[in-house]
Amino acid sequence: MSQSMVAKHSMWPRQKDIIFNLSERAQRAEKSIGKDNVINATIGALMDDYGTLITMDTVYNEYKSLDNKDISAYASLEGQPDYLEAVKKVCFKEYMPDGYIKAVASPGGSGAIKLATWNYTEEGDQILTSDWFWSPYVSITEETGRKVSTYQLFDENNNFNFNSFKKEFLNIASKQERIFTILNTPAHNPTGYSVSDDEWDKIIGLSKEVATNQDKKIILFVDIAYIDFASDDNASRKFFKKFSNLPENILVIVGFSMSKGFTAYGMRMGAAICITASENVAEEFYYGCVHSCRANWSNCNRGAMKLLSNIVQDEEKFEKYTQEKTLYKEMLKRRAKVFVEEAEKVGLDILPYRDGFFVSIPCDNPREVCEELTKDNLYLVPLKAGLRFAVCAVNENKCKVSPSIIKNALQYI
């Protein structure tokens, strides 16, 4: 047997990331037969109608105008003060909850997930999320010995399955001191679902019930990576107000990311933001997270922080940015509408889509179906229980023709 050097806890299966693998194959196909003849719906980034990455002018013109020193110098471990203020402003807009709110900078939303899961769960703990979920939740948490467990996101009528949520939430509460839940809303990846305000009331109601036991610690992690592409910027933020004045043993942590909202995927900038009625809990959050920053990545991308604060603090720049973003949001909406309508027309079952970058199609044997679809030059991502189609990455025409191609492949498999 050949020598193995890596520590036991770092021995992972030698698999290539399936998404990148299919994405590479799609790109090869585009090169050999032309972009018009390939539908590459694997990519989790906003692409224009010709399949080129969208980079917002209002963002990159500002970035290129920065002084070199504002990009080059070290930043504060917790993030630059003006960045942290800008994050709160752009995250909550008119719906800033009451309470103690503290933000700590992180490398993207991924970094915020790491900060929250590491600092608010114990080794061996189960972390709750829906059965349709963004798979890095597992990689990020299993690295430190946590386990993701799931509830069913939808019931048989394709409504939010609060009963399943409640059952799993109570199950974890019966075994663990901490009940850590990840809710990726609005514009969930991969389904495009957004938790409604009524559903939020139920989730918070249940959390409050469990919180009457003072020994329980409830952490609601709200992953808002796609919030800037959800319906209207204000309506999609109303739920934040519900986090005001919660019991002290309920802590809300919001995972903020610049990746999608500012087309800044590679800049790796985000923040974890806590909301609590207790000053002590907020202080603890701050010191716990800053310690993790130092221990893992030190400080974050100073240029990206300056970029955000420059745009957000200047009314005119922010207005221009919002206008530009709105154009792309409208483009995304049109694509998704066409896909959803066409799916309905051809009788392709999809999960309830509300907002965002992706639509999901439940099916058996997702990998085989994806492989079959490559014969039609349609590339998408296989999930555990279905397929993910990236409406963010393909034009309206391709969104229109895809449902019937997928429907055919499903009949064939």
Angle at which helix 57-64 crosses helix 302-313, to 10 degrees, equals 120
* Nearest alpha-carbon partner for 306 in 151, 86, 134: 86
Residue 253: what are its φ and ψ, rounded to 5°? -125, 125
DSSP letter assigned to residue 265: G
72, burial (CB in 10 Å: exposed 0-12, middle 13-18, buried 19+): exposed
DSSP letter assigned to residue 96: P
Q: How far is the CB of 213 from ligand PLP (least distance, A)?
A: 30
DSSP letter assigned to residue 52: P
- Does position 42 interact with ligand PLP (CB under 6 A)? The reply is no
Q: How far is the CB of 44 from ligand PLP (least distance, A)?
A: 5
Residue 26 CA, distance from chain mean position: 24
Residue whose CB is less far from ligand PLP, 40 or 189: 189
Residue whose CB is less far from ligand PLP, 351 or 410: 351
Tokens of 314: 């200047």
Interacting residue with ligand PLP among 60, 95, 100, 265 (CB under 6 A): 265
Which residue number places its CB atom closest to ligand PLP?
108
Residue whose CB is less far from ligand PLP, 264 or 409: 264
Q: How far is the CB of 110 from ligand PLP (least distance, A)?
A: 3
- Does position 189 interact with ligand PLP (CB under 6 A)? The reply is yes
Q: How far is the CB of 186 from ligand PLP (least distance, A)?
A: 11
Task: Give CA separation, 62 vs 81, 313, 314, 321, in Å.
Answer: 19, 13, 11, 10
d(CA 48, CA 57): 14
- Does position 390 interact with ligand PLP (CB under 6 A)? The reply is no
Residues 6 or more apart whose CB falls under 8 angstroms from that of 254 comprise 91, 221, 222, 224, 240, 272, 273, 274, 275
- Does position 297 interact with ligand PLP (CB under 6 A)? The reply is no
Strand runs labelled E in 87-188: 100-106, 126-130, 147-151, 178-184
Interacting residue with ligand PLP among 99, 186, 192, 270 (CB under 6 A): 270
Q: How far is the CB of 210 from ligand PLP (least distance, A)?
A: 25
- Does position 184 interact with ligand PLP (CB under 6 A)? The reply is yes
Q: How far is the CB of 256 from ligand PLP (least distance, A)?
A: 8
| Binding span for ligand PLP by CB under 6 A among 29-37, 163-171, 257-265, 292-300 | 257-265
Q: Are 37 and 377 in contact (CB under 8 A)?
A: yes
Place of tokens 């990576």: 225
d(CA 276, CA 252): 7
Residue whose CB is less far from ligand PLP, 249 or 257: 257
Q: What binding mask, one character per residue, do residues 209-228 give for ligand PLP by CB under 6 A, x or -?
A: --------------x-x---
Q: How far is the CB of 183 from ligand PLP (least distance, A)?
A: 10
32, burial (CB in 10 Å: exposed 0-12, middle 13-18, buried 19+): exposed
Site for ligand PLP in 44-73 (CB under 6 A): 44
Alpha helix positions (H), 54-96: 57-64, 68-72, 81-92
Q: How far is the CB of 316 from ligand PLP (least distance, A)?
A: 27
Site for ligand PLP in 96-155 (CB under 6 A): 108-110, 134
Interacting residue with ligand PLP among 236, 259, 263, 402 (CB under 6 A): 259
How many amino acids of this chain bind ligand PLP (CB under 6 A)?
13
Tokens of 357: 């970058």
Q: How far is the CB of 140 from ligand PLP (least distance, A)?
A: 10
Residues forming the site for ligand PLP (CB under 6 A): 44, 108-110, 134, 184, 189, 223, 225, 257, 259, 265, 270
